[in-house]
């Protein structure tokens, strides 16, 4: 074991047991999920964040690659009350510092009261509190990561087909702002070919596909920093059905005249209750975001809200064929109450005549 220090923006330096070495920094956030640590740690939405688990024991059912949502661990560090050796070995292999024997109940309470905060991490045999403070001094706020999309998006376009060797009748242009693998899988399982495009894809890139749906994915950071994706929505909305999840909902809202804001500590977990305003039904959802739609704008209607704080969880415009969700309907990890969202998205491809999409000269 080694020394471990966590320097917080509020001036405190916490000590823990070092499990995987390294020095790093990021925004300190927490998840309330009891299970799904593999999915959480490989969720690109945690890029540039230090993930604290509120559940006391992390790793009690091992590590399996088939549960992972991307090819690597995205949080810059992991903190828990206790981490199993198998999870520690995985994090060490990934080069991600890990700390346990921390009073995570107190740490989570601090984040709830003071908000997600910058922090510095130092783990190793010869590290000092000053090392952690140095990392803290170099730590940027999430909105300052102006090109965070580049860190989590594909470098070049790729296609995932519903059936090998044949083209589907439904073509989805998915803007990869940090997409989880299970979102792509959910569309493919329903018979769509998914063209995964870089976060900064051009209008010409999308137009060349003549897609049936433009889909903006989840991802990390401030939606105000994803101007290319916003421009795509502005250009294609009304000609192509538009859908979005999490960060995607925020980008769509901004493109249609709405506004977003940073939340105090965000929603991260698998038990967030969401109420549908038309039916009154409440469903449990998986969420991971630190920004939300503050104002939907004149073209979008709020259809679902969070029971705890009334933040917008669903936006729609039936005339323009726009449908978004703030939560993660693919349910990896979490409840499967909202899987029907993907059916609703693909149903928009049959809603009315759609013009062939071409880019302006």
Where are the alpha helices (H) located in 60-178, listed in sequence order?
85-93, 104-114, 129-137, 149-152
49 labelled binding-site residue: no
273: closest CA among 238, 301, 241, 310?
Answer: 310
219 labelled binding-site residue: yes
* Catalytic (active site) residue 330: yes
* Long-range pairs for 167-170: beta carbons < 8 A, 24 or more residues apart: 167/193, 168/192, 168/193, 170/212, 170/213, 170/346, 170/349
Catalytic residue (choose from 69, 195, 246, 313)? 246
Residue 329 and residue 341 in contact, taking contact as beta carbons nearer than 8 Å = yes
23: closest CA among 170, 133, 110?
Answer: 133
218 labelled binding-site residue: no
292: closest CA among 319, 253, 321, 323?
Answer: 253
247 labelled binding-site residue: yes
Residue 18 and residue 3 in contact, taking contact as beta carbons nearer than 8 Å = yes
Residue 298, classified by CB atoms within 10 Å of its CB into exposed (0-12), middle (13-18) or buried (19+), is exposed
124 labelled binding-site residue: no
141 labelled binding-site residue: no
Tokens of 61: 């059912």
61 labelled binding-site residue: no
Give the Cα separation of 273 and 271 in Å (integer): 6
217 labelled binding-site residue: no
Q: How many CB atoms lie within 10 A of CB 189?
A: 12
Give the Cα separation of 127 and 345 in Å (integer): 51
* Catalytic (active site) residue 328: yes
Give the Cα separation of 200 and 176 in Å (integer): 9
- DSSP-assigned letters across all residues of 220-254: SS-GGG-HHHHHHHHHHBTTB-EEEETHHHHHHHH
Active site residues: 246, 328, 330
Binding positions for L-glutamine are 45, 219, 221, 247, 250, 288, 290-291
Binding positions are 45, 219, 221, 247, 250, 288, 290-291
């Amino acid at each position: 074991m080694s020394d471990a220090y966590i320097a917080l923006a509020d001036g405190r330096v916490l000590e823990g047991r070092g499990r995987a070495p390294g020095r790093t920094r990021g925004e300190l956030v927490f998840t309330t999920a009891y299970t799904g640590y593999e999915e959480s740690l490989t969720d690109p939405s945690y890029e540039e964040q230090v993930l604290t688990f509120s559940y006391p024991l992390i790793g009690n059912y091992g590590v399996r690659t088939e549960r992972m949502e991307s090819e690597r661990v995205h949080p810059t560090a992991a903190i828990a009350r206790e981490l199993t050796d198998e999870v520690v070995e995985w994090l060490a292999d990934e080069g991600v510092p890990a700390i346990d024997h921390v009073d995570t109940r107190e740490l989570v309470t601090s984040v709830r009261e003071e908000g997600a905060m910058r922090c510095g991490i130092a783990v190793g045999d010869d590290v000092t509190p000053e090392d952690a403070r140095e990392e803290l001094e170099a730590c940027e706020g999430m909105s300052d990561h102006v090109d965070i999309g580049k860190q989590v998006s594909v470098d070049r376009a790729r296609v995932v087909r519903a059936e090998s060797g044949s083209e589907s009748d439904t073509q989805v242009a998915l803007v990869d702002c940090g997409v989880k693998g299970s979102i792509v899988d959910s569309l493919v399982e329903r018979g769509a070919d998914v063209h995964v495009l870089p976060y900064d894809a051009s209008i010409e890139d999308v137009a060349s596909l003549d897609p049936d749906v433009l889909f903006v994915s989840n991802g990390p950071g401030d939606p105000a920093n994803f101007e290319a994706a916003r421009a795509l929505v502005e250009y294609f909305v009304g000609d192509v059905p538009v859908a979005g999840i999490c960060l995607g909902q925020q980008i769509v809202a901004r493109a249609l005249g709405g506004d977003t804001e940073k939340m105090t500590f965000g929603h991260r977990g698998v038990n967030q209750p969401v109420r549908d305003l038309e039916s009154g039904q409440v469903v449990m959802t998986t969420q991971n975001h630190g920004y939300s739609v503050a104002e939907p704008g004149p073209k979008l209607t709020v259809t679902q809200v969070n029971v705890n704080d009334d933040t917008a969880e669903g936006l729609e415009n039936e005339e323009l064929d726009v449908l978004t969700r703030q939560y993660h309907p693919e349910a990896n990890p979490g409840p499967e109450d909202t899987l029907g969202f993907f059916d609703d998205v693909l149903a928009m491809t049959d809603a009315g005549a759609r013009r062939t999409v071409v880019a302006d000269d």
